[in-house]
Structure 1
Amino acid sequence: MYVHSKENQSKLSPETAFKYLQEGNARFVQNLRANRNLLQQVNETRDGQFPFATILSCMDSRTSAELIFDQGLGDIFSIRVAGNVLNEDILGSMEFATKVVNTKIIVVLGHTKCGAIVGACNDVKLGNLTQLLDKVKPAIEHETTTQTDRHGKNPEFVKNVTEINVHLTIQKIKEESPIIAELVQDGQIKIVGGLYDVDNGKVDFFEE
């Protein structure tokens, strides 16, 4: 599998970039992998990188973006933090990835059975983790369909909060980064959300 060049990246549309990720996840679910020589990709990317996607995902050990989307070295910018939450540093990284390096798509990827979401739903307090989990609270407040058992032991509630958290994160990206909002408006990039199922490896995408 080839490494993306500057020319290839410049010709890539956001829709095609999205298709690459969809096809990569389909291969992953089928236990197939594109034929690539990773050591060769090390050599081919030593003088520069031209990734096509920026992915914000959870730090969960089961959600490595390169693996679940079957991508190689130099293909994606992978940003990982518990609960795939957003802060200024992550937003700045996204601006660098899209405006400077010209990636064509941003994916905000949540996943089922997320420990950070469960912790937020249970109002866990633990050192610096408390501040991180507080970023999930708006999603909990927006989840209004569950009237009882609004805690981390309710899998349906947790899943709903997880999806809402992805949607709210995408909304915040557009609201808090005029740079990214303009790129989206001009059709230079697109932002999509996704939910990775840790039971079967499949990503369900939802476009805003």
Structure 2
Amino acid sequence: MRTQTKEIQDNLTPKCAHDILVEGNKRFVANLKAQRNLKDQVLATSEGQYPFAVILSCIDSRVPAELVFDQGIGDIFSIRVAGNVINQDVLGSMEYACKVAGSKIAVVLGHTKCGAVTAACNNVKLGNITSLLEKINPAINAIRKEDSKFTPEQIEEVSFENVNVSIDRIRKESPILAEMEKNGDIEIVGASYDVNTGLVEFH
């Protein structure tokens, strides 16, 4: 696999970037890693980086974006926060990745059996975790049918909806990214990772 260069990045369309992630996940699921020399990539990227994607994912130890999409050093920007929620720092990082550094796709990657989503559904209150989990409330309110306890199936629905909420917030709260998407410079897309199978489903 070639190391990302400015020329490769410049010639990629958002669709191509999307396809690279899909193909990478197919390899991951099949346990067929692309051949790459990580030491060579360290040297090749030492003078600059030209990632084709920025991925916001959860801190969950089972969902490392580089591995899930079978990517190497210098290929993607990886932003991680519990519950893959949006805040000003995350938006600023995404704007840097796309507007300044040239990435062609912004992905919000949720996952099944998410501890942060489960905690939010169970109304956990603890230190700074409280304000973080509150960002998941819009997804909870969209799925909640009554005041009864959430079922495991409903928690998974909240996880899926939470990705959609984050995508909506990106478009509403980042005029820079929204304009880039409108102009066809980038794709903004949600996805969900299944911790049982390793498969990523794009929304």
Percent of residue pairs bearing the same amino acid type: 57
In structure 2, the residue matched to 1:76 is 76
The 1-side partners of 2:102 and 2:21 are apart by 17
In structure 1, the residue matched to 2:200 is 203
Structure 1 residue matching 2:35: 3-state secondary structure:
coil
In structure 2, the residue matched to 1:36 is 36
Structure 2 residue matching 1:72: 3-state secondary structure:
coil
The 1-side partners of 2:24 and 2:177 are apart by 25
Structure 1 residue matching 2:78: 3-state secondary structure:
strand
**TM-score where L is the length of structure 1:** 0.96
In structure 2, the residue matched to 1:181 is 178
Cα shift at 1:4: 1.0
Kindly indicate whether residue 187 of structure 2 is the aligned counterpart of residue 190 of structure 1: yes
Structure 2 residue matching 1:32: 3-state secondary structure:
coil
In structure 2, the residue matched to 1:162 is 159
The 2-side partners of 1:22 and 1:187 are apart by 19
Alpha-carbon RMSD across the aligned residues, in angstroms, is 0.9
Cα shift at 1:50: 0.3
Contact 1:85 1:135 in 2 (8 A): yes
The 1-side partners of 2:149 and 2:13 are apart by 41
Kindly indicate whether residue 106 of structure 2 is the aligned counterpart of residue 106 of structure 1: yes
Contact 1:52 1:104 in 2 (8 A): yes
Cα shift at 1:155: 1.3
The number of aligned residues is 203
In structure 1, the residue matched to 2:57 is 57
2:170 partner letter: I
* Structure 1 unaligned blocks of 5 or more: none
Shift >3 Å, 4+ stretches: 146-150
Change (3 A) 1:81 1:100: same
Contact 1:150 1:157 in 2 (8 A): no
Contact 1:51 1:76 in 2 (8 A): yes
In structure 2, the residue matched to 1:87 is 87
Cα shift at 1:68: 0.4
In structure 1, the residue matched to 2:131 is 131
Cα shift at 1:149: 4.2
2:7 partner letter: E
In structure 1, the residue matched to 2:20 is 20
2:3 partner letter: V
Structure 2 residue matching 1:56: 3-state secondary structure:
strand
1:51 partner letter: P
1:31 partner letter: N
State which drifts further: 135-144 or 22-31: 135-144
In structure 1, the residue matched to 2:9 is 9
The C-alpha deviation readout for 1:58-111, integer Å capped at 9, x for no partner, is 000000000000000000000000000010001000000000001000000000
**TM-score where L is the length of structure 2:** 0.98
1:182 partner letter: E
